[in-house]
A and B are shown apart, each in its own frame.
Chain A
Amino acid sequence: MTLLGEFALWISLPVALWGMVLGYTGGRTQRGDLVLSAERSVYAVFGLLILASAGIMTAFLTDRFDYYYIANYSNRELELFYKITGLWAGQRGSLLFWALLLAFFSSLAVFLNRSKNREFMPYVAGVLQTILAFFIIVLLFADVNPFERLGFTPANGQGLNPQLQNYWMTIHPPTLYLGFTAFTVPFAFAVAALLSGRLDARWIQLTRRWILTSWLFLSVGIVMGMRWAYEELGWGGYWFWDPVENASLLPWLTATAFLHSIQIQENRGMLKVWNMSLVLLTFLLTVFATFLTRSGLIESVHSFAQELRIAYIFLGFMGSVLAASIILILYRLPQLRSENQIESFVSRESAFLFNNLLFVGAAFTVMWGTMFPLISEGVTGQQISVGPPFFERVNFPIGLALLALAGIGPVIAWRRATKKNLQRNFMTPVIVGLVAAATIWIMGAHHPLALVTWGIGAFVLTVIVTEFWKATRARARIENEGYATALFHLVSRNRRRWGGYIVHVGIVLIFMAFAGAAYNVDERFHMVPGDVAEVTSPMGGTYQLTYEGLSVSLANGQRNLMWQAIATISVVKDGEPQGILTTEKRRYTTQEAGAPPMTEVGIRSYVGEDLYLILSALDDIEGAVAAESDAQGFDLQVLIKPLVSWIWIGCLMLTAGTLIALWPSVDRKRLAEAEPVAEPATAGAAD
């Protein structure tokens, strides 16, 4: 099976190249047979890559340690679950997995468009096969072939890095990869539009859903990564401005910019070159993200590869795509001219424009900060990394400005906002925002950045709630419906608009949660059994943490564990018992001899805050493992992290909003044509 998989990978290359050539030729010569063959080759590549992936999985399940990849990422004792997900545990497998997902989305795109948008499809198939061929070439020729054999068969594998043995870690990379690879489809449509010269608004309409899907996966993938870092890395944070985190953030920023700017193109026929460039840029950034993650060019907690050949291949590919994109856009420039001009500085168009500039600006600064070590190495010969303070100083203002725009954009008028329009719509939200900030200040929170964030957050939430309220009320009055029915109809008639608002609510919650970090509490205690540590929460209330004792279990290699030392702490908050919480040190058999044991933290989540316990250090590791009763002392680090839960809640809102926006609407044509006039009185309220 594994050998068959290897052959399948080799066969997939000529098939992809075949599809690539036939797609372009078929489009050029308008020959339907060539195009059909090209489209079928997309399915064929998908099938072949399924075989290849099945080959790797079989190798994992049957402990084939003669394969380099299996020997490095698995061993006999690894749990079955992690053997199955081993396909994306390391660089080589994840590149194959990446190609597999790409082939999946490519096939889906071809299948969904088998009887529509046909004039785009030859080029779409050609572009998709080009990208697939590239990834297959990387797999086969860049020293990262997952099927590479060692010259011998080791008795056992190296095992999987314990930090990767976490359920978030099994689901976070695939989710991100889904987002990255799904974005190839809009890219293919954009290039097809450029190649075929059909540059009206249609390519945007038919890729919007793909972009939203990709964006959803990216967003959720990023938040899952935060969750993993929060639970597993054991330092209490969720974002470190690590190159790999940044790499996933970059395409998210430009994709978000695009989702906003297409609305200007759809409504006002402007920014066509800009939109096209954003799609191409986002795609390049997804490739860049793979490149950064999987080439090890910049040191990062995620990178495990040092091969340089892959770096040159990737750079060459990205350079070619960039050059080809620029040439294509320049070639089609006359057809991409704007139909309108921005009439006023104070209008929804310019709000969108600012939004875009900020998103792209943020992407640029993140990119700069991420690449800085490399640039400094080139210039001075030393890698200097800029660290979180740089990113925070630059991105906090940008983030806050974007947050404010989320409140301004929806209510400011298109074309030209008059003074009256501004007063009418912004008076109440601004007052609410100021009152909220003042109230929080009086309650004793004086951190300026946090206050500003919460004030702006309250402003945006007020705007959105008002939008919902006014529209529901209008509809309820006109249609004689109850408020709940009216709200339901309102949202279902224009899912895109109201779904977007719900996404904004999610984002606001996430930002407000970020600001909670200004009030993190971090205290350390030395504990022996019976000791009580008292920590006061900034949200009110005091925790009494009683150390009940240390229990040690010797796993003797089961699940790769050597031993676990578990500190049990009972939690009482303001006299109310809250049960127990544990934090532990673990040593894995797969760890190097001198390496420190791994830490597992204990987290208790409340609506307002998280209690986060870290076993920093055992007084006497040997004694503790030998279960000596006087060796139970340890250093306890207690963190209180306000509002963290709201990041996850915000992410759920974001998901719900995006799903609402994605949900297919009732016959869109009918809606667009019939509604505004057939029911003039309700049309406005309905949407």
Chain B
Amino acid sequence: MTLYVGVALVVAAVLLFIMQPVVKGLHASLDREENELTETEARKRVALLALRDVEYDFLAGKLDQDDYRSLKSQLTAEALAALEADEAARGAGPAATDSDAAIEAEIARVRAGLKNGVVCIGCSFTNEPGSRFCSACGHALEGATAGGARR
């Protein structure tokens, strides 16, 4: 007897649990959430990570200057393209929220950095705007204030 009661309870609980959404019309979300990476964001991320890797490799002495310079310019171009693609995708999307605006600012900063950072003539390392000496090779930098203060 207790067995049947137990089985009936289990069956009832399971039925109630799984049928409720259909009967009551409860819906699970099927759309991408706002804070998730979009495809263009993912691409941008990959491009920036690749850039980061090259700088790491150079700083750690794994790349010589020629290789570093050619790779870096190639990757910078790719990263910029990815950033612009992402920006375009964003522009086509829904109106910007606060967090979107923050991301926009971030991206603007990133782009400014990529475009206006102080590039060392000795090793082509992109330094912080305002730097007077190259962080990678110690070479004196000209036009040290080109990018202006960003922070």
Contact = CB atoms under 8 A, between A and B. Distances in A.
B42 A201 contact: yes
A121 B27 CA distance: 13
B10 interface: yes
B56 A15 contact: no
Most buried by A among B28, B54, B55, B66: B28
Given A200-B39, A680-B127, A413 B49 contact: no
A267 B56 contact: no
A677 B22 contact: no
B21 A677 contact: no
Interface string B9-24: 0110010011111100
Interface in B33-60: 33, 36-37, 39, 41-46, 48-60
Contact of A30 (B6, B30, B32): B30
B52 A4 contact: no
Contact of A677 (B29, B50, B110): B110
Contacts of A47: 14
B52 A687 contact: yes
Contact of B29 (A48, A118, A202, A470): A118
A266 interface: yes
A584 interface: no
Contact of B109 (A420, A424, A669, A677): A677
Interface string A541-555: 000000000000000
Interface stretch (A32-40, A130-138, A141-149, A529-537): A32-40
Nearest to A410: B62
Interface residues of A, number: 68
B64 interface: yes
B71 interface: yes
A37 B54 CA distance: 48
Contacts, number: 195
A32 B17 CA distance: 15
Contacts of B107: 673
A638 B60 CA distance: 50
Interface string A674-687: 11111111011111
A267 B50 contact: yes
Interface in A631-687: 669, 672-681, 683-687
A3 B3 contact: yes
Nearest to B57: A413
A393 interface: no
A669 B41 CA distance: 9
Contacts of B22: 33-34, 37
Contacts of B10: 4, 7-8, 11, 48, 51
A686 B55 CA distance: 10
B70 to A, nearest CB: 9
B117 A202 contact: no
Interface of B: 3, 6-7, 10-11, 14, 17-22, 25-33, 36-37, 39, 41-46, 48-64, 66-67, 71, 103, 106-107, 109-110, 113-114, 117, 125-128, 131, 135-136, 151
Interface of A: 3-4, 7-8, 11, 15, 18-19, 30-37, 39-41, 43-44, 47-48, 51, 115-119, 121-122, 200-202, 205, 266-267, 269, 411, 413-415, 418, 420-421, 424-425, 467, 470-471, 474, 478, 669, 672-681, 683-687
22 contacts: A11-B10, A32-B29, A40-B21, A44-B14, A51-B10, A201-B39, A201-B42, A202-B39, A267-B49, A267-B53, A421-B67, A471-B56, A673-B110, A676-B52, A677-B110, A678-B110, A680-B117, A683-B56, A684-B55, A684-B56, A684-B60, A685-B60
What 9 A-B pairs have minimum CB-CB distances, sorted nearest first? Answer: A32-B27, A684-B55, A681-B135, A677-B113, A684-B56, A36-B21, A36-B28, A470-B60, A684-B59
